[in-house]
């Protein structure tokens, strides 16, 4: 009989957390493994290794493959723990036996195996559950070298696989969206900017260049020296987004292709993994060449219009200045002419279409000995012709008619030889009629009396006149 001290010494390999305690206290009478005190050294070594590890592990020993596991493996068992301890392997994992039995057989035949993300439909918590595991099965030998069991180191990758699947599904969904997007889209991976994806718009805009799996510098050799590669490097190294607006880009995919210059709006967005590390760059943009050129044309047209408007305003300003100067000259000349009319000693007058005075300057008051309105009434207002004035001889000079005002004290310069008493005779236009006045008051009175008699008994040809600023005409 073994005393307690010897038993305790023989179980020193059962150290390590919850399962070490469970193995010490477990009733092994129903287990094909028997009590731990009877386990061979090879099994003891494996169990000691498992209990000291933080990685999920189990071992199956003997003809019935009695099941042993560590603390890290408890989460894999789910509700099967703690009853799984010491049971035959088949009883523990009967729900997946059809999937793993061939692998177990290979291990017992001395062949190790490794599987990554192997899908297994387990029933470990009372319901079917799709799981994935990465694990290895290795044969376990006794002291004689005979394979007497198997050892497994495993990790459940269910969460990772589902996360990767969701990520792939999301990427695929995005790819489908990006594929038909109107703007060009590309995904570059790694510091070398390797093309992972380009959409249809990208290929149409930048030509078919065999993108996928190639570095951006290899694909777009014609962008060398235009600063695009430097922008990509900066986004990848700093993690800062870059947004471009109407950037000019020169492209020539091959020697046989004519060079093109495009204007592009685009964004370079860093792609990060779950840990925040930059793994690539997302590029998306639009060709705005036509819009930009149209805007530049509009701006140029507007500038030309503004220049023309400025020139027109300058021209109008000059015209306004000229007009103001002309108006000033007109006013000055009108004032001067009005002053001449008022102060001139010469007799000035304007005739109407009947050849009668419409108005006369103040100098007539001296001749008439009263207001010059007498000229509008008989006998002066009846009719008059140049020959009458000439016959009166009341002026110191010869009276005359002229189409322009006389600048000298000359009298009515006759433009025709027509005489009084010639019915229907044609007379020229009359602008102004002037005559120097004889100085003798007695003589003036005599002449006026004679004029009165002459006008009363004379029949003159009719005058047709038009008055405008003192100007008259006859025909």
> Residue 366: how many CA atoms within 13 Å on its side-chain side?
17
Mean pLDDT by 10 residues, the chain (475 residues): 48 90 94 95 95 96 97 97 97 97 97 97 96 98 96 96 91 82 91 93 89 94 93 96 94 82 94 92 93 85 84 86 81 73 75 67 74 65 47 44 38 33 34 47 51 39 32 34
The pLDDT of residue 377 is: 66
pLDDT at residue number 1: 42
The bridge status of strand 260-272 relative to strand 242-251 is antiparallel
**CA angle 467–468–469, rounded 5-degree value:** 120
Alpha helices for 344-474 (secondary structure H): 363-368, 386-392, 441-456
Residue 130 to residues 161, 182, 336, 372: CA-CA distances in angstroms? Answer: 11, 40, 117, 131
- Order the strands of the 129-141 sheet from edge to edge: 66-69, 57-61, 147-156, 129-141, 113-122
């Amino acid at each position: 009989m073994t005393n307690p001290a010897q038993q305790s010494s023989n179980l020193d390999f059962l150290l390590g957390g919850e399962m070490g305690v469970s193995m010490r206290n477990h009733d092994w009478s129903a287990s094909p493994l028997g009590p731990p005190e009877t386990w061979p050294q090879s099994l003891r070594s494996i169990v000691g290794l498992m209990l000291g590890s933080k990685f999920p592990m189990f071992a199956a020993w003997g003809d019935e493959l009695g099941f042993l596991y560590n603390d890290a493996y408890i989460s894999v068992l789910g509700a099967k723990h703690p009853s799984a301890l010491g049971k035959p392997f088949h009883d523990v994992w009967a729900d997946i036996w059809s999937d793993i039995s061939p692998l177990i057989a290979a291990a017992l035949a001395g062949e190790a195996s490794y599987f990554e993300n192997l899908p297994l439909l387990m029933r470990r918590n009372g319901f079917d559950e799709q799981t994935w595991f990465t694990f290895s099965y290795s044969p376990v030998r006794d002291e004689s070298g005979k394979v007497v069991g198997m050892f497994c180191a495993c990790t459940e990758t269910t969460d990772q696989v589902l996360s990767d699947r969701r990520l792939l599904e999301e990427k695929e969904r995005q790819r489908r969206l990006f594929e038909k997007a109107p703007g060009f889209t590309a995904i570059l991976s790694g510091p070398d900017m390797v093309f992972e994806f380009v959409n249809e718009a990208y290929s149409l805009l930048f030509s078919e260049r065999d993108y996928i799996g190639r570095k951006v510098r290899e694909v777009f050799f014609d962008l060398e020296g235009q600063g695009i590669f430097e922008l990509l490097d900066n986004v990848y190294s700093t993690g800062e987004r870059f947004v471009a607006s109407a950037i000019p880009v020169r492209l020539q995919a091959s020697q046989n292709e004519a060079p093109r210059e495009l204007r592009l709006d685009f964004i370079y967005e860093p792609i990060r993994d779950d840990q925040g590390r930059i793994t690539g760059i997302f590029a998306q943009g639009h060709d705005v060449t036509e819009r930009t050129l149209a805007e530049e044309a509009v701006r140029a047209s507007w500038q030309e219009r503004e220049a023309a408007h400025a020139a027109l305003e300058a021209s109008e300003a000059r015209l306004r200045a000229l007009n103001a100067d002309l108006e000033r000259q007109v006013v000055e000349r009108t004032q001067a002419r009005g002053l001449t009319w008022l102060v001139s000693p010469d007799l000035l007058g304007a005739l109407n279409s009947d050849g009668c005075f419409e108005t006369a300057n103040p100098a007539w008051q001296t001749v008439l000995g009263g207001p010059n309105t007498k000229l509008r009434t008989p006998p002066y207002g009846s009719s008059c012709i140049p020959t009458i004035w000439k016959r009166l001889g009341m002026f110191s000079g010869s009276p005359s008619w002229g189409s322009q005002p006389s600048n000298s004290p000359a009298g009515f310069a006759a433009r025709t030889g027509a005489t009084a008493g010639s019915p229907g005779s044609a007379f020229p236009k009359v602008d102004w009629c002037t005559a120097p006045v004889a100085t003798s008051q007695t003589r003036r009175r005599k002449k006026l009396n004679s004029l009165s008699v002459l006008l009363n008994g004379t029949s003159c040809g009719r005058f047709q006149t038009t008055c405008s600023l003192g100007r008259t005409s006859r025909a």
